[in-house]
Protein backbone atom coordinates (compact mmCIF):
# COMPACT_ATOMS: atom_id res chain seq x y z
CA UNK A 1 0.00 0.00 0.00
CA UNK A 2 1.28 3.45 -0.90
CA UNK A 3 1.55 6.36 1.51
CA UNK A 4 -0.23 9.66 0.89
CA UNK A 5 3.15 11.37 0.48
CA UNK A 6 4.28 8.88 -2.18
CA UNK A 7 0.98 9.19 -4.04
CA UNK A 8 1.37 12.97 -4.14
CA UNK A 9 5.01 12.70 -5.19
CA UNK A 10 4.09 10.50 -8.15
CA UNK A 11 0.99 12.43 -9.21
CA UNK A 12 1.78 16.13 -8.75
CA UNK A 13 3.67 17.60 -11.69
CA UNK A 14 3.68 21.39 -11.24
CA UNK A 15 6.86 23.50 -11.23
CA UNK A 16 9.10 22.61 -8.30
CA UNK A 17 7.41 19.31 -7.44
CA UNK A 18 9.45 16.13 -7.25
CA UNK A 19 7.82 14.53 -10.31
CA UNK A 20 7.55 17.87 -12.10
CA UNK A 21 11.32 18.27 -12.00
CA UNK A 22 11.77 14.78 -13.46
CA UNK A 23 9.25 15.11 -16.30
CA UNK A 24 10.75 18.44 -17.36
CA UNK A 25 14.01 16.63 -18.14
CA UNK A 26 12.39 15.05 -21.24
CA UNK A 27 11.00 16.33 -24.51
CA UNK A 28 7.22 16.50 -24.09
CA UNK A 29 4.86 16.08 -27.06
CA UNK A 30 2.16 18.72 -26.71
CA UNK A 31 0.74 19.68 -30.13
CA UNK A 32 0.11 18.03 -33.46
CA UNK A 33 2.11 20.03 -35.98
CA UNK A 34 -1.11 20.61 -37.93
CA UNK A 35 -2.46 22.70 -35.03
CA UNK A 36 0.02 25.43 -35.95
CA UNK A 37 0.63 24.37 -39.53
CA UNK A 38 0.93 27.78 -41.21
CA UNK A 39 3.34 30.61 -40.66
CA UNK A 40 1.68 33.51 -38.83
CA UNK A 41 -1.20 31.21 -37.85
CA UNK A 42 -3.45 32.07 -34.90
CA UNK A 43 -1.82 31.33 -31.53
CA UNK A 44 -2.91 28.25 -29.59
CA UNK A 45 -3.45 28.04 -25.84
CA UNK A 46 -1.36 25.30 -24.21
CA UNK A 47 -1.45 24.04 -20.64
CA UNK A 48 1.52 21.76 -20.08
CA UNK A 49 2.55 20.34 -16.73
CA UNK A 50 0.45 22.92 -14.96
CA UNK A 51 1.85 25.93 -16.81
CA UNK A 52 -0.35 28.18 -18.95
CA UNK A 53 1.46 28.89 -22.21
CA UNK A 54 0.84 30.04 -25.76
CA UNK A 55 2.21 28.39 -28.92
CA UNK A 56 2.64 29.94 -32.36
CA UNK A 57 4.61 29.61 -35.58
CA UNK A 58 6.21 32.85 -36.70
CA UNK A 59 6.78 34.37 -40.15
CA UNK A 60 9.99 32.35 -40.61
CA UNK A 61 8.44 29.06 -39.52
CA UNK A 62 9.99 29.03 -36.06
CA UNK A 63 7.86 27.67 -33.21
CA UNK A 64 7.43 29.56 -29.98
CA UNK A 65 6.09 28.35 -26.66
CA UNK A 66 5.92 31.27 -24.25
CA UNK A 67 4.05 32.44 -21.17
CA UNK A 68 0.42 33.01 -22.09
CA UNK A 69 0.17 36.37 -20.33
CA UNK A 70 1.60 39.71 -21.42
CA UNK A 71 4.24 41.10 -19.06
CA UNK A 72 2.47 44.48 -19.02
CA UNK A 73 -0.95 43.92 -17.45
CA UNK A 74 -1.40 40.14 -17.66
CA UNK A 75 -3.63 39.95 -20.73
CA UNK A 76 -3.82 36.58 -22.48
CA UNK A 77 -1.77 36.65 -25.65
CA UNK A 78 -4.27 34.27 -27.24
CA UNK A 79 -6.11 37.46 -28.26
CA UNK A 80 -2.96 38.77 -29.95
CA UNK A 81 -1.97 38.89 -33.60
CA UNK A 82 0.79 36.64 -34.92
CA UNK A 83 2.50 38.70 -37.61
CA UNK A 84 5.94 39.92 -38.71
CA UNK A 85 7.91 37.47 -36.57
CA UNK A 86 6.10 38.05 -33.33
CA UNK A 87 2.94 37.93 -31.28
CA UNK A 88 1.47 41.36 -30.50
CA UNK A 89 -0.81 42.01 -27.55
CA UNK A 90 -3.61 44.24 -28.77
CA UNK A 91 -4.28 45.77 -25.36
CA UNK A 92 -1.29 48.12 -25.57
CA UNK A 93 0.73 46.74 -28.49
CA UNK A 94 3.57 44.96 -26.72
CA UNK A 95 5.09 42.34 -29.01
CA UNK A 96 7.05 39.13 -28.31
CA UNK A 97 9.19 36.78 -30.40
CA UNK A 98 9.40 32.98 -30.16
CA UNK A 99 11.98 33.27 -27.36
CA UNK A 100 9.77 35.51 -25.24
CA UNK A 101 11.78 38.64 -25.96
CA UNK A 102 9.84 41.89 -26.17
CA UNK A 103 10.57 43.22 -29.65
CA UNK A 104 8.26 46.24 -29.63
CA UNK A 105 6.97 48.36 -26.75
CA UNK A 106 5.03 51.30 -28.23
CA UNK A 107 4.29 52.98 -24.90
CA UNK A 108 7.96 53.58 -24.00
CA UNK A 109 10.69 55.39 -25.95
CA UNK A 110 13.31 52.98 -27.27
CA UNK A 111 16.14 55.09 -25.87
CA UNK A 112 14.90 54.41 -22.33
CA UNK A 113 16.11 50.81 -22.61
CA UNK A 114 12.99 49.62 -20.78
CA UNK A 115 11.99 47.16 -23.54
CA UNK A 116 15.25 45.22 -23.22
CA UNK A 117 14.35 44.25 -19.66
CA UNK A 118 11.06 42.64 -20.67
CA UNK A 119 11.11 38.91 -21.35
CA UNK A 120 8.48 36.20 -21.00
CA UNK A 121 9.22 32.64 -19.98
CA UNK A 122 9.83 30.52 -23.05
CA UNK A 123 10.69 26.90 -23.84
CA UNK A 124 12.60 25.44 -26.80
CA UNK A 125 10.55 23.39 -29.26
CA UNK A 126 11.28 20.90 -32.00
CA UNK A 127 9.08 19.39 -34.68
CA UNK A 128 9.34 15.67 -35.37
CA UNK A 129 6.96 12.89 -36.50
CA UNK A 130 4.16 15.40 -37.09
CA UNK A 131 4.37 16.46 -33.43
CA UNK A 132 5.64 19.58 -31.68
CA UNK A 133 7.72 18.77 -28.59
CA UNK A 134 8.86 21.10 -25.80
CA UNK A 135 11.72 20.91 -23.34
CA UNK A 136 10.93 22.57 -20.02
CA UNK A 137 13.94 21.56 -17.93
CA UNK A 138 17.34 23.08 -17.14
CA UNK A 139 18.94 24.33 -20.38
CA UNK A 140 22.29 22.72 -19.61
CA UNK A 141 20.63 19.30 -19.24
CA UNK A 142 18.62 19.36 -22.48
CA UNK A 143 18.65 15.86 -24.03
CA UNK A 144 18.90 14.91 -27.73
CA UNK A 145 15.64 14.81 -29.72
CA UNK A 146 13.37 11.79 -29.12
CA UNK A 147 14.51 8.63 -30.90
CA UNK A 148 11.57 6.31 -30.33
CA UNK A 149 11.14 3.92 -33.24
CA UNK A 150 7.70 5.29 -34.17
CA UNK A 151 9.13 8.82 -34.34
CA UNK A 152 11.79 7.75 -36.86
CA UNK A 153 9.77 5.74 -39.39
CA UNK A 154 8.62 7.39 -42.62
CA UNK A 155 5.40 9.46 -42.43
CA UNK A 156 3.45 6.90 -44.47
CA UNK A 157 4.31 4.24 -41.87
CA UNK A 158 2.80 6.16 -38.94
CA UNK A 159 -0.54 7.51 -37.73
CA UNK A 160 -0.72 9.80 -34.69
CA UNK A 161 -3.70 11.08 -32.74
CA UNK A 162 -4.27 12.64 -29.34
CA UNK A 163 -7.24 12.95 -27.04
CA UNK A 164 -8.07 14.67 -23.80
CA UNK A 165 -8.19 12.34 -20.81
CA UNK A 166 -9.81 13.71 -17.68
CA UNK A 167 -7.60 12.19 -15.01
CA UNK A 168 -4.07 12.31 -13.69
CA UNK A 169 -1.42 11.18 -16.15
CA UNK A 170 -0.09 8.40 -13.91
CA UNK A 171 -3.27 6.34 -13.61
CA UNK A 172 -3.69 6.60 -17.37
CA UNK A 173 -0.13 5.42 -17.95
CA UNK A 174 -0.47 2.59 -15.45
CA UNK A 175 -3.33 1.25 -17.55
CA UNK A 176 -0.92 1.07 -20.47
CA UNK A 177 1.51 -1.23 -18.66
CA UNK A 178 -1.20 -3.52 -17.29
CA UNK A 179 -1.73 -6.42 -19.69
CA UNK A 180 -3.87 -8.37 -17.23
CA UNK A 181 -6.96 -6.25 -17.91
CA UNK A 182 -7.02 -7.01 -21.64
CA UNK A 183 -8.96 -10.28 -21.33
CA UNK A 184 -11.63 -8.62 -19.21
CA UNK A 185 -11.96 -5.02 -20.36
CA UNK A 186 -11.26 -5.54 -24.08
CA UNK A 187 -12.26 -9.18 -24.56
CA UNK A 188 -15.32 -8.29 -26.65
CA UNK A 189 -13.25 -6.07 -28.97
CA UNK A 190 -10.27 -8.26 -29.84
CA UNK A 191 -11.99 -10.37 -32.48
CA UNK A 192 -14.04 -7.60 -34.08
CA UNK A 193 -11.80 -4.52 -34.08
CA UNK A 194 -10.15 -4.37 -37.54
CA UNK A 195 -6.78 -3.45 -35.99
CA UNK A 196 -6.76 -6.40 -33.57
CA UNK A 197 -8.72 -9.30 -35.04
CA UNK A 198 -7.15 -12.40 -36.59
CA UNK A 199 -4.41 -12.91 -34.03
CA UNK A 200 -3.72 -16.27 -32.39
CA UNK A 201 -2.94 -14.24 -29.30
CA UNK A 202 -6.60 -13.29 -28.98
CA UNK A 203 -7.37 -16.93 -28.31
CA UNK A 204 -4.69 -17.10 -25.61
CA UNK A 205 -6.07 -13.93 -24.01
CA UNK A 206 -9.53 -15.45 -23.91
CA UNK A 207 -8.54 -18.84 -22.53
CA UNK A 208 -6.05 -17.73 -19.88
CA UNK A 209 -7.30 -14.82 -17.79
CA UNK A 210 -4.74 -15.19 -15.03
CA UNK A 211 -1.42 -14.11 -16.59
CA UNK A 212 1.86 -14.39 -14.74
CA UNK A 213 3.99 -11.26 -14.79
CA UNK A 214 7.75 -10.96 -14.98
CA UNK A 215 9.62 -7.65 -15.24
CA UNK A 216 13.14 -6.86 -16.41
CA UNK A 217 14.95 -3.53 -16.40
CA UNK A 218 16.67 -2.16 -19.49
CA UNK A 219 18.49 1.11 -20.11
CA UNK A 220 15.33 2.99 -21.07
CA UNK A 221 12.95 1.67 -18.44
CA UNK A 222 11.22 -1.67 -17.96
CA UNK A 223 10.21 -4.69 -20.03
CA UNK A 224 6.92 -5.95 -18.62
CA UNK A 225 6.19 -9.52 -19.66
CA UNK A 226 2.71 -11.03 -19.29
CA UNK A 227 2.77 -14.82 -19.67
CA UNK A 228 -0.21 -16.97 -20.63
CA UNK A 229 -0.49 -20.65 -21.46
CA UNK A 230 -0.14 -21.52 -25.15
CA UNK A 231 0.24 -25.32 -25.19
CA UNK A 232 1.92 -28.09 -23.22
CA UNK A 233 5.42 -26.90 -24.10
CA UNK A 234 5.14 -23.14 -24.63
CA UNK A 235 3.97 -19.93 -23.06
CA UNK A 236 2.51 -16.97 -24.92
CA UNK A 237 4.30 -13.77 -23.88
CA UNK A 238 3.14 -10.20 -24.44
CA UNK A 239 6.08 -7.90 -23.70
CA UNK A 240 5.30 -4.23 -23.14
CA UNK A 241 8.22 -1.80 -22.95
CA UNK A 242 7.75 1.11 -20.56
CA UNK A 243 10.12 3.84 -21.72
CA UNK A 244 10.74 6.65 -19.28
CA UNK A 245 8.95 8.81 -18.47
CA UNK A 246 5.51 8.25 -20.13
CA UNK A 247 5.81 5.97 -23.18
CA UNK A 248 4.55 2.44 -23.75
CA UNK A 249 4.52 0.21 -26.81
CA UNK A 250 1.65 -2.25 -27.09
CA UNK A 251 2.57 -5.83 -28.02
CA UNK A 252 1.51 -6.54 -31.63
CA UNK A 253 -1.24 -8.84 -32.82
CA UNK A 254 -0.73 -10.86 -36.02
CA UNK A 255 0.41 -8.60 -38.87
CA UNK A 256 -1.31 -5.46 -37.64
CA UNK A 257 0.65 -2.25 -37.01
CA UNK A 258 2.23 -1.78 -33.62
CA UNK A 259 0.57 0.60 -31.18
CA UNK A 260 2.19 3.05 -28.80
CA UNK A 261 1.13 5.64 -26.26
CA UNK A 262 2.40 8.70 -24.44
CA UNK A 263 0.57 10.17 -21.46
CA UNK A 264 1.62 13.78 -21.01
CA UNK A 265 0.32 15.86 -18.10
CA UNK A 266 -1.76 18.93 -18.85
CA UNK A 267 -2.09 19.57 -15.13
CA UNK A 268 -2.51 17.38 -12.06
CA UNK A 269 -6.01 16.26 -13.09
CA UNK A 270 -5.88 16.02 -16.90
CA UNK A 271 -3.52 14.65 -19.51
CA UNK A 272 -3.05 14.24 -23.25
CA UNK A 273 -3.32 10.61 -24.28
CA UNK A 274 -1.22 10.30 -27.44
CA UNK A 275 -1.95 7.22 -29.56
CA UNK A 276 0.38 6.06 -32.30
CA UNK A 277 0.10 3.21 -34.79
CA UNK A 278 3.12 2.40 -36.91
CA UNK A 279 4.67 -0.40 -38.88
CA UNK A 280 8.47 -0.64 -38.93
CA UNK A 281 8.76 -2.25 -42.37
CA UNK A 282 5.88 -1.03 -44.54
CA UNK A 283 3.49 1.79 -45.23
CA UNK A 284 0.16 1.66 -43.44
CA UNK A 285 -2.63 0.33 -45.64
CA UNK A 286 -5.45 2.64 -46.71
CA UNK A 287 -7.91 0.42 -44.87
CA UNK A 288 -5.84 0.65 -41.70
CA UNK A 289 -5.60 4.43 -41.83
CA UNK A 290 -9.33 4.69 -42.55
CA UNK A 291 -10.06 2.58 -39.47
CA UNK A 292 -7.78 4.74 -37.33
CA UNK A 293 -9.49 7.91 -38.56
CA UNK A 294 -12.84 6.33 -37.67
CA UNK A 295 -11.72 5.80 -34.08
CA UNK A 296 -10.94 2.09 -34.24
CA UNK A 297 -8.13 0.41 -32.33
CA UNK A 298 -6.50 2.78 -29.87
CA UNK A 299 -7.98 5.93 -31.45
CA UNK A 300 -11.31 7.70 -30.86
CA UNK A 301 -14.03 9.71 -32.52
CA UNK A 302 -14.11 13.36 -31.44
CA UNK A 303 -16.55 16.05 -30.53
CA UNK A 304 -16.25 18.03 -33.83
CA UNK A 305 -13.57 20.71 -33.76
CA UNK A 306 -11.94 19.43 -30.56
CA UNK A 307 -9.71 16.69 -29.20
CA UNK A 308 -12.41 15.69 -26.72
CA UNK A 309 -13.64 12.11 -27.27
CA UNK A 310 -17.21 11.90 -28.52
CA UNK A 311 -17.85 9.37 -25.73
CA UNK A 312 -16.77 11.10 -22.55
CA UNK A 313 -17.47 11.64 -18.86
CA UNK A 314 -20.24 14.17 -19.50
CA UNK A 315 -22.38 11.65 -21.44
CA UNK A 316 -21.39 8.53 -19.43
CA UNK A 317 -19.22 7.38 -22.35
CA UNK A 318 -22.38 6.57 -24.34
CA UNK A 319 -22.65 3.38 -22.32
CA UNK A 320 -25.00 0.78 -23.78
CA UNK A 321 -26.35 -1.38 -20.95
CA UNK A 322 -28.27 -3.60 -23.37
CA UNK A 323 -25.06 -4.47 -25.20
CA UNK A 324 -23.44 -5.24 -21.88
CA UNK A 325 -26.39 -7.32 -20.67
CA UNK A 326 -26.58 -9.41 -23.83
CA UNK A 327 -22.86 -10.13 -24.06
CA UNK A 328 -22.04 -7.90 -27.02
CA UNK A 329 -19.73 -5.75 -24.91
CA UNK A 330 -18.20 -6.52 -21.53
CA UNK A 331 -18.34 -2.87 -20.53
CA UNK A 332 -21.13 -1.34 -22.60
CA UNK A 333 -18.57 1.25 -23.72
CA UNK A 334 -17.60 1.06 -27.37
CA UNK A 335 -13.96 1.02 -28.45
CA UNK A 336 -10.70 0.02 -26.80
CA UNK A 337 -9.47 3.56 -26.14
CA UNK A 338 -12.62 4.69 -24.38
CA UNK A 339 -12.94 1.46 -22.44
CA UNK A 340 -9.53 2.30 -20.98
CA UNK A 341 -10.33 5.97 -20.44
CA UNK A 342 -13.70 5.35 -18.78
CA UNK A 343 -12.19 2.99 -16.23
CA UNK A 344 -9.19 5.22 -15.52
CA UNK A 345 -11.30 8.36 -15.19
CA UNK A 346 -13.69 6.52 -12.85
CA UNK A 347 -10.87 6.39 -10.27
CA UNK A 348 -11.26 10.14 -9.79
CA UNK A 349 -9.07 13.01 -10.99
CA UNK A 350 -6.18 11.62 -8.91
CA UNK A 351 -6.39 8.02 -7.77
CA UNK A 352 -6.10 7.49 -4.03
CA UNK A 353 -3.51 4.71 -4.00
CA UNK A 354 -3.55 4.49 -0.19
CA UNK A 355 -6.73 2.44 -0.55
CA UNK A 356 -5.65 -0.04 -3.23
CA UNK A 357 -4.78 -3.69 -2.67
CA UNK A 358 -2.23 -4.83 -5.23
CA UNK A 359 -1.70 -8.45 -6.28
CA UNK A 360 0.74 -10.53 -8.32
CA UNK A 361 -0.43 -9.16 -11.68
CA UNK A 362 0.54 -5.64 -10.55
CA UNK A 363 4.26 -6.36 -10.48
CA UNK A 364 4.92 -4.09 -13.45
CA UNK A 365 3.04 -1.22 -11.85
CA UNK A 366 4.95 -1.57 -8.57
CA UNK A 367 8.33 -1.58 -10.31
CA UNK A 368 7.37 1.36 -12.52
CA UNK A 369 6.44 3.46 -9.50
CA UNK A 370 9.72 2.60 -7.82
CA UNK A 371 11.69 3.49 -10.94
CA UNK A 372 9.86 6.80 -11.29
CA UNK A 373 10.55 7.76 -7.67
CA UNK A 374 14.24 6.81 -7.97
CA UNK A 375 14.58 8.85 -11.14
CA UNK A 376 12.73 11.78 -9.59
CA UNK A 377 15.16 11.83 -6.67
CA UNK A 378 18.06 11.81 -9.15
CA UNK A 379 16.50 14.67 -11.13
CA UNK A 380 16.04 16.72 -7.97
CA UNK A 381 19.80 16.49 -7.44
CA UNK A 382 20.66 17.35 -11.05
CA UNK A 383 21.88 13.82 -11.76
CA UNK A 384 21.38 11.83 -15.01
CA UNK A 385 17.95 10.26 -15.54
CA UNK A 386 17.04 7.18 -17.64
CA UNK A 387 16.08 7.15 -21.33
CA UNK A 388 17.34 10.58 -22.37
CA UNK A 389 19.89 9.14 -24.80
CA UNK A 390 18.69 7.82 -28.20
CA UNK A 391 20.03 4.30 -27.80
CA UNK A 392 18.01 3.82 -24.59
CA UNK A 393 14.77 4.46 -26.50
CA UNK A 394 15.43 1.87 -29.22
CA UNK A 395 13.16 -0.93 -28.13
CA UNK A 396 10.08 -2.56 -29.63
CA UNK A 397 7.19 -4.54 -28.18
CA UNK A 398 6.89 -8.27 -28.88
CA UNK A 399 4.27 -11.00 -28.75
CA UNK A 400 5.88 -14.40 -28.92
CA UNK A 401 5.61 -18.06 -27.98
CA UNK A 402 8.57 -19.33 -25.97
CA UNK A 403 9.56 -22.64 -24.42
CA UNK A 404 8.40 -22.85 -20.83
CA UNK A 405 11.96 -22.94 -19.49
CA UNK A 406 13.06 -19.83 -21.42
CA UNK A 407 13.40 -16.41 -19.75
CA UNK A 408 11.30 -13.91 -21.69
CA UNK A 409 13.90 -11.12 -21.87
CA UNK A 410 16.43 -13.52 -23.41
CA UNK A 411 14.06 -15.46 -25.63
CA UNK A 412 12.51 -12.31 -27.10
CA UNK A 413 15.71 -10.28 -27.36
CA UNK A 414 15.84 -10.63 -31.15
CA UNK A 415 12.39 -9.03 -31.38
CA UNK A 416 12.86 -6.33 -28.76
CA UNK A 417 15.97 -4.78 -30.29
CA UNK A 418 15.46 -5.21 -34.04
CA UNK A 419 16.82 -2.76 -36.58
CA UNK A 420 14.53 -0.12 -38.01
CA UNK A 421 12.80 -1.45 -41.13
CA UNK A 422 12.54 -5.05 -39.96
CA UNK A 423 9.35 -7.04 -39.36
CA UNK A 424 7.89 -7.13 -35.84
CA UNK A 425 7.91 -10.42 -33.93
CA UNK A 426 4.23 -11.12 -33.46
CA UNK A 427 1.65 -13.87 -32.88
Class of domain 149-416: alpha beta
Q: Three-state SS string across 45-86, please?
A: EEEECCEEEEEEECCCCCEEEEECECCCCCCEHHHCEECCCC
User: If DSSP codes are grouped into helix, strand and coil, which group holds residue 133?
Assistant: strand
- 23-141 has which fold? Rieske Iron-sulfur Protein (2.102.10)
Where are the CATH 3.90.380.10 domain residues in the chain?
A: 149-416
Phi and psi based region of residue 77 (left: phi greater than 0; alpha: psi -120 to 50; beta: remaining)? alpha
Strands across the sheet with 95-96, in order? 81-82, 87-88, 95-96, 102-104
Q: What is the pLDDT of residue 386?
A: 97
Where are the CATH 2.102.10.10 domain residues in the chain?
A: 23-141
Question: pTM for this structure?
Answer: 0.94
DSSP state of 106: T
Question: Prior bond to 245 cis, omega within 30?
Answer: yes
Q: What is the pLDDT of residue 369?
A: 96
User: Using CA atoms, how far apart are residues 86 and 57, in angstroms rounded to an integer?
Assistant: 9
Report the 10 Å Cβ neighbour count for 373.
16
Q: What is the pLDDT of residue 367?
A: 96
Per-residue pLDDT of the chain (427 residues; tens, 9 = 90+): 789 999 999 999 999 999 999 999 999 999 999 999 999 999 999 999 999 999 999 999 999 999 999 999 999 999 999 999 999 999 999 999 999 999 999 989 999 999 999 999 999 999 999 999 999 999 999 999 999 999 999 999 999 999 999 999 999 999 988 866 766 667 566 667 788 877 887 888 778 778 899 999 999 999 999 999 999 999 999 999 999 999 999 999 999 999 999 999 999 999 999 999 999 999 999 999 999 999 999 999 999 999 999 999 999 999 999 888 887 777 888 888 999 999 999 999 999 999 999 988 899 999 999 999 999 999 999 999 999 999 999 999 999 999 999 999 999 999 999 999 999 999 9
Amino acid sequence: MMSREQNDQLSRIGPGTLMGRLLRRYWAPFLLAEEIAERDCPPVKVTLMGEKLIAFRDSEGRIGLIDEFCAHRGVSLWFGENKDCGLRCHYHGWKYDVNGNCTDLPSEPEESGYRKNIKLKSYPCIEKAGIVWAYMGPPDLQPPPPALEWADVKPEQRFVSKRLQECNWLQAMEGGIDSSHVSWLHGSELNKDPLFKGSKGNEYNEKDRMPHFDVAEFSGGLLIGARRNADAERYYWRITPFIMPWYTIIPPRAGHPLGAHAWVPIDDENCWAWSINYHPSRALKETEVAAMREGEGIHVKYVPGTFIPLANKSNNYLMDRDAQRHGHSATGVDGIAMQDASIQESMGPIQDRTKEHLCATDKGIVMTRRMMLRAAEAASQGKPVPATEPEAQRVRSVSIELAKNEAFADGAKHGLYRELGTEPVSV
